[in-house]
């Protein structure tokens, strides 16, 4: 293979100029002629019967075109959801979470719509709500969806929406024989994605169907859900995904789009629903979790068994939660050799905001427990936390989750590298400590990505993909791959993203999959173009045999020297008379015997280490250094890959030290909004160091794996163990706010002054 | 946005007539960092918003006078924080101003607005209390001056009568060479609200002053502790007794941001830090307590 | 005290909408604005300058940062009429004659841009900082950016970009670039 020109280089982002000049148009910046503005009235209570809604004041305002509540919708009220279609367009009869949309005002301008919302009077009868796992599972707990369908098709007779069990070996036998068992409970809080772009969408009627412009991560999922909800054919629903101002999984599944689509079709006009940052808190969050875990170790610190019960607290509607809980449960033993395992993971409804995919897809919650157990074992057995992990890590090629892909990396090397980078073992001052942890995740098994590449008459290229750009850099990565394969300058490749009418089917932009899956599809589409070019060249007599085709510098080498692609097409098709189209596909291998439907394409693995200093008097944890080593196979764009690592680490820092959605007993969300839900600022960050391990051992183009989620997964246990190392307290609940650390210090008698 | 009307008077007289005019419910607008958002969420619903910035009698200037510094009603926090004379003579004031919000907020928000909003956590109030600052008020009935301690009455309530506005804040120079310090604890390093804020003052005549924010309905001076510490703040027993008085005087609540117990613990830590810092600044070694 | 004439003068000033004149990205701009509209709304919707982004609408996130009379402010909590007589600089005013400002270039080169939603506000905060302080320390930069939230980048590259831009601007002739 000739020298690589684009892949593996830190090519500047294709969209960077637009972003630094403010020229990029996000959905919220867009408008259409004749557009109606939609504003939502949200429920004031978590669970309440809607007794009456007085809309007269709103309806009579000049400029208000329609006010809709559940009563004005077709009956039964249309519902949507990517797995279980349980979420109504507007709350019907009873609200199920604080902030659930009850009504929408459609008006000619935004000010009028907002003013009209204030005119609507709702009479509620407040009902008891359940907001914790314990409350939701009480025998007398009010049911979120009585008579509704569970994930397995059974009827809901409790608040358990889905329950999954994975096991191998013989856990009960192993327990009987094991002398060293660590038995504990860990909790992971409710977290909000806190993307900066407020959620908005524009829907407009189109040819007996509807088109939707939205910052949706997965346009084909949105297409399917809207078609199903509104009774339309797929071909009658067009989704155009804009560039997303922060996804993190929170933009993966439909939220306000079905209502906008319905409103557009009903009124015959474009409808834009726009919201602000606060609304996001009433729209999506991450699953919370309580994990009860028993881990047995031998005298050398090797894991003998894992018995894991992971209860994930969902919100009021299913969204993608059963999928998250199932997938994460499957990896409930983390990255370690585990001879005997039993994992039961449950998804439990509550009267809180809908939870959905969030960076890591359930793994941060489980890894918090798994890695905390390793830290506990390290303390109990007096084995260094680095050493105990090394003893349990599988070697390359080893199967550690039965039935799934063997270990595909040099994981011990990665762990040692993360340790070295944080100065593991170096002398340290008092109140300073270090910790290390391992994060793991897998992409979507048996998934599909298709791509189309068009070589235009002048030799320029467009690549159409269903993948969306949310800052992760997919647009640039695909351009690099195409440029590399086609031997064309990367500036001449235009990547068109997220339009279901233009791009062929892609499952989703999620799961750290796109470089591998869509990258492979793009490669194949470009290779298809080269094959066609070769055939054309042979037919024109430019070359003798297609096998002899040589491509370089956007030319094919013929008998009389190099001919540009454009010139070749002109000769073959006639002057400016056409283009050639290449198709490519990635199809992940299906395996019906596998609980998730297929093996993991690769393991997304990170090694995170931290150094902290703890102020004993206040409990404040100052993270001095945060390190991440990522197993990436090959970074198509190293700059972008490192940027993803850094961002993921700080997002993880947020849930480790300061983030938590707080609900009161009645189900009211107390800290919706940036005032009281604090995320890290530029003043809160430690020194960040990252390292990419590139062994070219991934299944993706040029040996690539995926990246994006890993760095958020292991931050919490790394920092928590660093806190223990610093001041000797063990904390099992997140976030490690100063007050929580201070309480632990006082409880253990380690509080007070910092000096010696 | 709720509907309101707007006026940009150029004289105080015009402003007063607007404030006391028939329709009102009027809100004066200085920096707007509290007002505009309050209107958006419905916490305030004025019928009229009156811009103060064009009123010729009002000023954003920070004037060094013979007896002290006169801070105009329109002086913004970022300029207060960077003002050389204020930094030299009243560090607690500039430090507290510099901790409010973000740079963007400090570039609009005024100190006058901060004290008028009268949040229990308002950072500038304890520093002003240390120096017995005076609030100069103007209204249609004339002018009056009120000590800062009497100005803030209760959460979000001041002694301003209808139609009155703050014209300036005067901070007198202390009698003897002195320094001060403001420390606070918040949930994160970046822009945040105080969980506990402590302002301390130390003079070469062994006077210690202390004021706290966010641990009572309003900020307050810990006079009880101050008089105990007059006997020798660096004597461990005297220090402890004074500190106990500070804790006694505080009435922190438990809320979303922190529990009462934690706030009480923080009071001790921050008080020690603030007093030590002030003593260091006037050249006295911090001591072993 | 107050005469009837004064009272009338007071009432005459009360208005729903107002004509304002201000300098916008160097050009004198005269428009009528609704008094209840924020500067952010007027910039975006009346003047079509969508580079200033809105997010929290309460002065907490900094996405809407613009520069008014040389100071970075949250345009979502500035009422439009307040900028009468002021000098306003938005992201659209940074690039000159099609050439990116060094801060913009630095953001690109350091990889400080991901989803881009916070980027306009970040760059304007950085610009305001460098107008005041041409040789900022790391801490100076972080303080200046503390009111600009980002969820994608982890801030490190942004801080580095501002530092790099500061150095670049220091070496540029003061006459050719206003900095």
Q: A95 and A227 share a domain?
A: yes
pLDDT in tens, A189-219: 999 999 999 999 999 999 899 999 999 999 9
Interval A303-309 mean pLDDT: 98
Q: B77 and B46 share a domain?
A: no
Which of these, B132, B62, B135, lies nearest to B92 by C-alpha position? B132
Interval A254-266 mean pLDDT: 98
In whole angstroms, what is the distance from residue A287 CA to residue A355 CA?
Answer: 5
Whether residue B235 is predicted with pLDDT greater than 70 in this model: the reply is yes
- By residue range, what is the domain housing residue A552? 16-22+447-587
Question: CA separation (Å) from A265 to A48, B3, C168?
Answer: 30, 32, 54
B258 Cβ under 8 Å from any chain A Cβ:
yes
CATH number of the domain that residue B210 is part of: 3.30.390.50
Tell me what percent of the residues of chain B surpass a pLDDT of 90. 89
Interval B231-235 mean pLDDT: 93
- Which element (helix H / strand E) includes B284? none
Q: B199 and B266 share a domain?
A: yes
C10/B5 CB distance under 8 A: no
pLDDT in tens, A496-534: 999 999 999 999 999 999 999 999 999 999 999 999 999
A587, A620, A638 - which closes a domain: A587
Q: A540 and A684 share a domain?
A: no
Return the CATH fold of C16-90.
Answer: Ubiquitin-like (UB roll) (3.10.20)
Against chain A, the chains showing at least 3 CB pairs within 8 Å are B, C
pLDDT band at B221 (very low <50, low <70, confident <90, very high): very high
Which of these, C91, C69, C74, lies nearest to C23 by C-alpha position? C69
Domain assignment present for residue B287? The answer is no
A658/B185 CB distance under 8 A: no
pLDDT in tens, A151-197: 888 888 899 999 999 999 999 999 999 999 999 999 999 999 999 99
Per-residue confidence (pLDDT) for residue C1, from 0 to 100: 39
Q: B69 and B168 share a domain?
A: yes
Q: Which residues pair with C33 in a beta bridge?
A: C18
pLDDT band at B78 (very low <50, low <70, confident <90, very high): very high
Residue bearing the bigger pLDDT, A30 or A574:
A30
Of A550, A694, A709, A739, which residue is the catalytic one? A709
Q: B218 and B238 share a domain?
A: yes
- Are C150 and C158 a contacting pair, CB within 8 Å? yes
pLDDT in tens, A54-99: 999 999 999 999 999 999 999 999 999 999 999 999 999 999 999 9
Residue ranges of chain C assigned to CATH 1.10.150.120: 102-171
B142 Cβ under 8 Å from any chain C Cβ:
no
Domain assignment present for residue A693? The answer is yes
In whole angstroms, what is the distance from residue A337 CA to residue A407 CA?
Answer: 10
State phi, psi for B13 to the nearest 5 degrees: -60, -45
Q: B39 and B98 share a domain?
A: no
CATH number of the domain that residue A628 is part of: 3.30.365.10
B8/C72 CB distance under 8 A: no
Q: How far apart are the first and last CA of chain C?
A: 50
Smallest CA–CA distance from B15 into chain C, residue = C10
Counting runs of H as helices and runs of E as strands, what totals does chain C give?
6, 5
Per-residue confidence (pLDDT) for residue B286, from 0 to 100: 47
∠ CA C110-A9-A700 to the nearest 5 degrees? 120
A558, A587, A616 - which closes a domain: A587
Tell me what percent of the residues of chain A surpass a pLDDT of 90. 94
In whole angstroms, what is the distance from residue B114 CA to residue A13 CA?
Answer: 43
Q: A433 and A458 share a domain?
A: no
∠ CA A45-A48-A51 to the nearest 5 degrees? 120
B112, B138, B172 - which closes a domain: B172
pLDDT band at C2 (very low <50, low <70, confident <90, very high): very low
pLDDT band at A445 (very low <50, low <70, confident <90, very high): very high
Q: B167 and B183 share a domain?
A: no
Question: CA separation (Å) from A505 to A254, A508, A511, A591?
Answer: 17, 9, 17, 21
Q: A523 and A650 share a domain?
A: no
B1/C58 CB distance under 8 A: no
Q: A467 and A422 share a domain?
A: no
From A400-404, A752-756, B60-64, B283-287, the region with the lowest mean pLDDT: A752-756
Which of these, A161, B284, A685, A93, lies nearest to C138 by C-alpha position? A685
Whether residue C6 is predicted with pLDDT greater than 90 in this model: the reply is no
ipTM of the complex: 0.96
Number of residues in chain A = 756
In whole angstroms, what is the distance from residue C156 CA to residue A711 CA?
Answer: 15
pLDDT in tens, A131-149: 999 999 999 999 999 888 8
Whether residue C94 is predicted with pLDDT greater than 50 in this model: the reply is yes
Q: Which chain A residues have a beta carbon less than 8 Å from that of B239?
A: none
In whole angstroms, what is the distance from residue B104 CA to residue B120 CA?
Answer: 22
Peptide bond into A735 cis (omega under 30): yes
B269/A617 CB distance under 8 A: yes
Nearest to B191 among A118, A618, A681 (CB): A681
Q: A220 and A73 share a domain?
A: yes
Whether residue A752 is predicted with pLDDT greater than 80 in this model: the reply is no
Q: B35 and B108 share a domain?
A: no
pLDDT in tens, A641-659: 999 999 999 999 999 999 9
CATH number of the domain that residue B100 is part of: 3.30.465.10
- By residue range, what is the domain housing residue B214? 178-281
Q: A583 and A626 share a domain?
A: no
For residue B170, how many C-alpha atoms fall within 13 Å in the half-sphere facing its CB?
14
pLDDT band at C174 (very low <50, low <70, confident <90, very high): low
Q: A546 and A638 share a domain?
A: no
**A and C: number of Cβ contacts within 8 A:** 168
Return the CATH fold of C102-171.
Answer: DNA polymerase; domain 1 (1.10.150)
Interval B15-41 mean pLDDT: 88
Listed in sequence order, the residues at least 6 apart from C12 whose beta carbon sits closer than 8 Å to its beta carbon are: none
pLDDT band at A748 (very low <50, low <70, confident <90, very high): confident
A256, A274, A292 - which closes a domain: A274
- Are A424 and A386 a contacting pair, CB within 8 Å? yes
pLDDT in tens, A350-380: 999 999 999 999 999 999 999 999 999 999 9
Q: B194 and B168 share a domain?
A: no
C141/A682 CB distance under 8 A: yes
C142 Cβ under 8 Å from any chain A Cβ:
yes
**How big is chain B by its Cα radius of gyration, in Å?**
19
Per-residue confidence (pLDDT) for residue A620, from 0 to 100: 97
The reply to whether A491 belongs to the active site is: no
- Are C51 and A21 a contacting pair, CB within 8 Å? yes
In whole angstroms, what is the distance from residue B70 CA to residue B54 CA?
Answer: 19
Count up the domains in chain A and report the number: 3
Interval B218-230 mean pLDDT: 97
Domain assignment present for residue A679? The answer is yes
Interval B217-233 mean pLDDT: 96
Per-residue confidence (pLDDT) for residue A2, from 0 to 100: 55
Q: B201 and B260 share a domain?
A: yes
A735 min Cα distance to partner chain C (Å):
18
Q: Which chain C residues have a beta carbon less than 8 Å from that of A21?
A: 51, 91-92, 94-95, 100, 104
A659 min Cα distance to partner chain B (Å):
10
Q: B131 and B74 share a domain?
A: yes
Name the packing angle between helices C156-171 and C119-132 (round to 10°): 40
Name the packing angle between helices C102-109 and C156-171 (round to 10°): 140
B53 Cβ under 8 Å from any chain A Cβ:
no
CATH number of the domain that residue A213 is part of: 3.90.1170.50
B41 min Cα distance to partner chain C (Å):
9
Mutate to test the interface with B, among A617, A620, A653, A735 (most CBs of B within 10 A): A617
Q: Give this prediction's pTM.
A: 0.96
The per-residue pLDDT of chain C, averaged, comes to 92
Per-residue confidence (pLDDT) for residue C12, from 0 to 100: 52
Whether residue A102 is predicted with pLDDT greater than 60 in this model: the reply is yes
Whether residue A299 is predicted with pLDDT greater than 70 in this model: the reply is yes
pLDDT band at A286 (very low <50, low <70, confident <90, very high): very high
- Are A482 and A11 a contacting pair, CB within 8 Å? no
pLDDT band at A575 (very low <50, low <70, confident <90, very high): confident
In whole angstroms, what is the distance from residue A323 CA to residue A303 CA?
Answer: 27
- Which element (helix H / strand E) includes B158? strand B157-158
């Amino acid at each position: 293979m000739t020298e690589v020109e684009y892949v593996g280089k830190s090519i500047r982002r294709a969209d960077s100029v637009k972003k630094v000049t403010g020229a990029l148009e996000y959905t919220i910046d867009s408008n259409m002629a004749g557009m109606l503005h939609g504003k939502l009235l949200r429920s004031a209570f978590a669970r309440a019967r809607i007794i009456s809604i007085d809309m007269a004041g709103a309806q009579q305002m000049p400029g208000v075109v329609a006010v809709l509540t559940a009563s004005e919708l077709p009956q039964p009220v249309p519902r949507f959801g990517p797995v279980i279609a349980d979420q109504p367009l507007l709350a019907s009869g009873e609200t199920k979470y604080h902030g659930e949309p009850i009504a929408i005002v459609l008006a000619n301008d935004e000010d009028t719509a907002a003013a009209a919302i204030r005119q609507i009077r709702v009479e509620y009868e407040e009902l008891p709500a359940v907001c914790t796992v314990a409350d939701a599972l009480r025998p007398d707990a009010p049911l979120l969806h009585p008579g509704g369908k569970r994930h397995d098709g059974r009827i809901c007779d409790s608040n358990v929406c889905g329950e999954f069990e994975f096991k191998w070996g013989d856990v009960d036998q192993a327990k009987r024989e094991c002398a060293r068992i660590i038995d504990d409970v860990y909790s992971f809080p409710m977290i909000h994605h806190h993307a900066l772009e407020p959620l908005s969408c524009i829907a407009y009627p189109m040819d007996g169907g509807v088109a939707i412009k939205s910052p949706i991560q997965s346009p084909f999922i949105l297409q399917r859900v809207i078609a199903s909800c509104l009774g339309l054919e797929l071909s009658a629903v067009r989704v155009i995904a804009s560039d997303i101002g922060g996804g993190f999984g929170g933009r993966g599944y439909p939220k306000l789009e079905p209502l906008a689509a319905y409103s557009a079709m009903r009124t015959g006009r474009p409808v834009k629903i726009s919201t602000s940052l606060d609304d996001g808190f009433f729209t999506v969050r991450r699953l919370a979790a309580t994990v009860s875990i028993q881990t047995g170790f031998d005298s050398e610190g090797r894991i003998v068994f894992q018995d894991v019960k992971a209860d994930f607290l969902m919100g009021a509607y299913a969204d993608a939660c059963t999928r998250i809980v199932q997938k994460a449960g499957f990896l409930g033993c983390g990255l370690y050799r585990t001879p005997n395992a039993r994992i039961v993971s449950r998804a439990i409804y509550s009267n809180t905001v809908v939870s959905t995919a969030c960076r890591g897809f359930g793994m941060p919650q489980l890894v918090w427990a798994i890695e905390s157990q390793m830290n506990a074992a390290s303390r109990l057995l007096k084995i260094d936390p680095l050493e105990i992990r090394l003893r349990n890590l599988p070697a390359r090629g080893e199967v550690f989750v039965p039935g799934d892909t063997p270990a595909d990396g040099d994981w011990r090397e990665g762990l040692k590298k993360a340790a070295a980078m944080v100065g593991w073992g170096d002398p340290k001052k008092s109140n300073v400590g270090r910790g290390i942890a391992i994060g793991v995740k897998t992409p979507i098994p048996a998934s599909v990505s298709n791509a189309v590449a068009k070589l235009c008459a002048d030799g320029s290229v467009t690549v159409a993909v269903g993948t969306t750009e949310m800052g992760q850099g997919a647009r640039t990565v695909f351009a690099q791959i195409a440029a590399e394969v086609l031997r064309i300058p990367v500036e001449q490749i235009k990547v068109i993203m997220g339009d279901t009418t233009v791009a062929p089917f892609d499952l989703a932009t999620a799961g750290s999959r796109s470089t591998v899956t869509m990258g492979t599809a793009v490669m194949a589409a470009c290779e298809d173009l080269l094959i066609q070019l070769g055939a054309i060249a042979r037919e024109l007599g430019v070359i003798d045999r297609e096998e002899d085709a040589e491509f370089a510098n956007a030319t094919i080498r013929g008998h009389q020297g190099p001919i540009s692609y454009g010139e070749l097409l002109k000769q073959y098709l006639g002057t400016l008379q056409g283009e050639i189209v290449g198709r490519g596909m990635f199809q992940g291998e299906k395996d019906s015997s596998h609980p998730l439907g297929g093996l993991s394409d690769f393991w997304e693995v990170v090694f995170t280490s931290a150094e902290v200093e703890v102020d004993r008097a206040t409990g404040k944890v100052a993270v001095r250094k945060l390190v991440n080593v990522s197993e990436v196979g090959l970074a198509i764009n190293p700059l972008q890959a490192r940027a993803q690592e850094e961002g993921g680490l700080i997002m993880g820092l947020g849930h480790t030290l300061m983030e938590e959605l707080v609900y009161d007993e009645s189900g009211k969300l107390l800290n919706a909004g940036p005032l009281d839900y604090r995320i890290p600022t530029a003043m809160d960050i430690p020194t960040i160091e990252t390292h990419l391990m590139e062994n070219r051992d991934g299944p993706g183009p040029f040996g690539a794996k995926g990246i994006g989620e890993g760095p958020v997964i292991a931050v919490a246990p790394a920092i928590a163990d660093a806190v223990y190392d610093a001041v000797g307290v063990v904390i099992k609940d997140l976030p490690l706010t100063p007050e929580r650390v201070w309480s632990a210090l006082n409880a253990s008698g380690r509080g007070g002054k910092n000096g010696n | 946005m709720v509907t309101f009307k707007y006026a940009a008077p150029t004289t105080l007289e015009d402003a007063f007539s607007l404030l006391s005019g028939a329709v009102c419910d009027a809100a004066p607008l200085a920096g707007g960092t509290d007002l505009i958002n309050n209107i958006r969420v419905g916490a305030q619903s004025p019928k009229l918003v009156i811009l103060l910035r064009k009123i010729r009698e009002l000023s954003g200037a920070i004037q060094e006078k013979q007896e002290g510094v006169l801070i105009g009603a329109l002086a913004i926090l970022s300029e207060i924080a960077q003002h050389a004379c204020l930094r030299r003579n009243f560090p607690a004031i500039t430090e507290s101003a510099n901790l409010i919000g973000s740079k963007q907020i400090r570039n609009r928000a005024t100190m006058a607005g901060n004290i008028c909003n009268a949040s229990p956590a308002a950072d500038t109030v304890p520093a002003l209390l240390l120096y017995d600052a005076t609030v100069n008020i103007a209204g249609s009935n004339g002018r009056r001056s009120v000590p800062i301690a009497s100005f803030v009455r209760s959460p979000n309530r001041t002694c301003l009568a209808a139609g009155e506005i703050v014209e300036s804040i005067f901070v007198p120079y202390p009698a003897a060479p002195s320094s001060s310090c403001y420390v606070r604890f918040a949930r994160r390093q970046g822009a945040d609200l105080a969980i506990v804020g402590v302002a301390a003052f130390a003079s070469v005549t062994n006077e210690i002053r202390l004021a706290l924010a966010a641990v009572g309905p309003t900020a307050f001076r810990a006079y009880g502790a101050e008089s105990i510490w007059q006997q020798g703040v660096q004597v461990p027993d005297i220090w402890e007794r004074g500190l106990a008085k500070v804790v006694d005087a505080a009435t922190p609540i438990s809320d979303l941001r922190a529990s009462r117990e934690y706030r009480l613990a923080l009071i001790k830590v921050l008080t020690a830090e603030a007093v030590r810092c002030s003593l260091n600044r006037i050249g006295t070694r911090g001591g072993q307590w | 005290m107050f005469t009837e004439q004064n009272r009338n003068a007071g009432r005459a000033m009360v208005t729903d909408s107002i004509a304002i004149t201000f300098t916008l990205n160097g050009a004198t701009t005269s428009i009528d604005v609704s008094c209840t509209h924020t500067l952010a709304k007027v910039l975006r919707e009346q003047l079509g300058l969508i580079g200033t982004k809105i997010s929290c609408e309460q002065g907490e996130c900094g996405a809407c940062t613009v520069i008014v009379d040389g100071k970075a402010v949250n345009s979502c909590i500035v009422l439009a009429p307040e900028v009468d007589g002021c000098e306003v600089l938005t992201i659209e005013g940074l690039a000159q004659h099609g050439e990116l400002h060094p801060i913009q270039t630095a953001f690109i080169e350091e990889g400080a841009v991901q989803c881009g939603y916070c980027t306009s506000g970040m760059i304007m905060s950085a610009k305001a900082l460098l107008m005041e302080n041409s040789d900022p320390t790391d801490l100076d930069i972080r303080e200046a950016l503390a009111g600009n939230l980002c969820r994608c980048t982890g801030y490190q590259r942004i801080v580095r970009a501002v530092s790099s831009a500061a150095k670049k601007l220091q070496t540029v002739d003061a006459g050719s670039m206003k900095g």
